[in-house]
A and B are shown apart, each in its own frame.
Chain A
Amino acid sequence: MTSHKTASSQTFPAGSDAFPHRHLLGIAGLQPWEILFLMEEAKQWVDLNRKSSKHADRLDGLTVINAFFENSTRTLLSFEIAGKRMGADVVNMHAAQSSIKKGETLIDTAVTLNAMKADAIVIRHGSSGAVQLIADKVDCPVLNAGDGRHEHPTQALLDALTIQRRRGEISGLTVTICGDVMHSRVARSNIYCLTTLGARVRVCAPPSLLPAALDRFNVEVFTDFDEALKGSDVVMMLRLQNERMNGDFIPSPREYHYLYGLTRERLKLANTDALIMHPGPMNRGVEIDSDVADDLENSAITEQVEMGVAVRMACLDILTRKSRGVEGWS
């Protein structure tokens, strides 16, 4: 397996060669050093966010629009805090306020947002590919905050940063991702991110929640959670979407917990210091038990949230460097 140096010792290409993309629409197609560069840049913001004064002026005068066509609390708040801490004027557009509800097409909305001269637009949408559709129509950088079942790149970056800070290396670790993989953009982005960084990735789900052809994604596929857990260094649980649970994809939450719930007892099958992760919000007692989620030693769930703000600050900073005229970012 290819070994990648940890970000702290990694050297990156100069200027925009380190991240030559206009938008951040997904992890698919990013080079390992590009992912590591984003993570490395995020670290300075982790430090800033732990100070009493958290303000940076890097994005002073810039306007960031968070256009959320799908409900979100955590991700929206994280992006809002990230933008504000960087000094940007942050405007949130919620789905309920959107003209989409009045029949306006997504492209009309994109053109409107573009005319408002935003410096960056953060988009969440319920349809796979919707963010790319908007990105093709606007002049400023677009950040994907989750599109349908497709990708959620900043979530994967914050997860990778969390793992890296806890374990030093990502390369060579065995990471098990378990849950509703079929409907999960978090799973897709994490599969791309972690395999690109050299981790051994296992994917586990009930057969009804496993998308087709996963074996072509450089991952091992399991339907037996106990087998998947054996020797895992990281256990990443996914939210089981309650709205899909009754008699549709799984027989019941009770049965799901029995077969796929992360319990203290089951966790013993993983390595003793296995890191426990969850993108939230959690269904406690369904995909994860509270005593596992709240484990002070091994659960990294709150740290993931903290890393989220730092990663989003880094992404906003990097994607606006060209428009801000930062040297080397043409």
Chain B
Amino acid sequence: MKKNFTNARLVLPDEQQPVEGSLLVEGDRITAINIGADDQPDGAIDCQDKLLAPGIVDLGVFAIDKPAFRFGGITRAALMPDQAPVLDLPAMIKHNAVDGKPDLWSHPIAAATKGLKGQQLAEIGLMQRSGAKAVATGRQWIADSGIMLRLLQYCKSLNLPLIVHSEDAGLTGDAVATNGETATRLGLASATAAAESLSIARDIALVRETGAHVHFRQVTTTAGLDLIRAAKSENLPVTCGITPAHLLLSDIAISDFRTFARLSPPLRDEANRLACIEAVRDGTIDVISSGHDPRGPEDKRLPFAEAAPGMAGAETLLALAFTLVRDGIIPIGRLFELLSTNPAKILGVDAGLLKAGHEADFILIDEDAPWQVDTRKMAAAAGNTPFDGLPVQGRVTAIYKGGRAY
């Protein structure tokens, strides 16, 4: 069945501003983009001048949380291997790949090492055969450089991207915050922000050695971003991501021991935050993801150091990312490269673009619609957002997965 989405403002590849037009869908695929034409009256759906953008591909969530994803306009989610049990067996990949279908596609990411312990390579080839599109070190850093080298050699041979958490564990130890005035005032164990750049520097050296694609899941420091920038100028296959929290909040947000602002990597100081904004602007950062990790009171209503890191980010991802457009840092086209196109490209799936032949995953957005983040009213499995009470703008009004409305 054909459907024509008319009277839309389309977020198209290589266009930085929305383009008025229509989008034709047949089955689960986009078949044509007819700019300015409404030539398919049968099955026409009037988008009422709303923004029609590719569905968000959320790279590196910790839970499949459909209500939250639907609210946030997420049509595909790449699930981190840090599950119970860990996604380190082909059967686990297969099992988790069907979670969420048909309205959400979950892409389970294979654990890089058995049990995510950083000691023995997991069966990444077999997990790829079971559907894994990427491999990840999980919340952990692989301390053993020899293991890391062999892992990258394997990933290269299998053409799988490796998603890494970049914090040198020898420096972070039991730290729960970044070194600085706030951590010292609160008496929290903290670590130098250099833990990140040290880890990135090692991995870039190994990328240079192996040619494997490494995606640094969250880069949050000036020094780390400088390393990524330099690696990209060498044409090394590296990409990196960030969350809205690291773009919009500094470590001051943990004052009063706010465990909802306890994240991993921890929030940085203002200078690092501004460097992250600049890296979004200049193209160093490739992906903005939610880091969705819903945590209930049993994990968060604890003393700060004992609380689990993580935030419920899926619902707020789009609205918070829209502030980058509203503040004039990036245009809308670039925003959806960060949210949809680039993460889909890293996973190697035909999504994240409004383009003929691609999966018909898209969302309609009223980008001016105001709403307020409220932990008590969230659709997510838990309301642990550091943005509680913040007034935001931008809301998904409809979500289409494979051409069907959900």
Q: Does A127 have its Cβ within 8 Å of any Cβ on chain B? A: yes
Main SS of the interface on chain B? helix
Q: Does B131 have its Cβ within 8 Å of any Cβ on chain A? A: no
Inter-chain contacts of B302 with A (CB < 8 A):
105-106, 133
Chain B 173-217, CB-CB to A under 8 Å as 1, else 0, gives 000000111011111111010000000000000000000000000
Does A213 lie within 8 Å of B184, measured CB to CB?
A: yes
Cβ of B305 to closest chain A Cβ, rounded Å: 5
Q: Does A38 have its Cβ within 8 Å of any Cβ on chain B? A: no
B306 CB contact (under 8 Å) in A127, A185, A214: A127
Cβ of A261 to closest chain B Cβ, rounded Å: 25
Given contacts A106-B302, A107-B301, A129-B304, contact A185 B180 (CB under 8 A): no
Inter-chain contacts of A213 with B (CB < 8 A):
179-181, 184
Does A128 lie within 8 Å of B257, measured CB to CB?
A: yes
Stretch binding the partner chain, chosen from A12-20, A146-154, A231-239, A279-287 = A146-154
Q: Does B42 have its Cβ within 8 Å of any Cβ on chain A? A: no
Cβ of B234 to closest chain A Cβ, rounded Å: 33
Inter-chain contacts of B181 with A (CB < 8 A):
212-213, 216-217
For B179, B186, B192, the residue with the greatest tally of chain A CB atoms inside 10 Å of its CB is: B186
Does A127 lie within 8 Å of B184, measured CB to CB?
A: no
Cβ of A28 to closest chain B Cβ, rounded Å: 7
For B180, B185, B257, B306, the residue with the greatest tally of chain A CB atoms inside 10 Å of its CB is: B185
Q: Does A23 have its Cβ within 8 Å of any Cβ on chain B? A: no
CA distance A185 to B186 in the complex (A): 10
Instruction: Give the size of the chain B interface in residues (CB under 8 angstroms).
Output: 22
Does A127 lie within 8 Å of B304, measured CB to CB?
A: yes
Q: Does B14 have its Cβ within 8 Å of any Cβ on chain A? A: no
CA distance A107 to B299 in the complex (A): 12
Which residue on chain A has the smallest CB distance to residue B184?
A211
Given contacts A105-B298, A212-B190, A213-B179, contact A128 B305 (CB under 8 A): yes
Cβ of B230 to closest chain A Cβ, rounded Å: 27
For A125, A130, A185, the residue with the greatest tally of chain B CB atoms inside 10 Å of its CB is: A130
Does A128 lie within 8 Å of B180, measured CB to CB?
A: no
CA distance A249 to B158 in the complex (A): 43
CA distance A150 to B297 in the complex (A): 23
Cβ of B202 to closest chain A Cβ, rounded Å: 23
Does B256 lie within 8 Å of A132, measured CB to CB?
A: yes
Does B186 lie within 8 Å of A212, measured CB to CB?
A: no
Q: Does B370 have its Cβ within 8 Å of any Cβ on chain A? A: no
Q: List 3 A-B pairs, minimum CB-CB distance, nearest first.
A: A129-B257, A127-B303, A149-B187
8 A-B residue pairings within 8 Å (CB atoms) = A105-B298, A105-B302, A127-B303, A128-B257, A129-B257, A129-B305, A212-B184, A212-B190
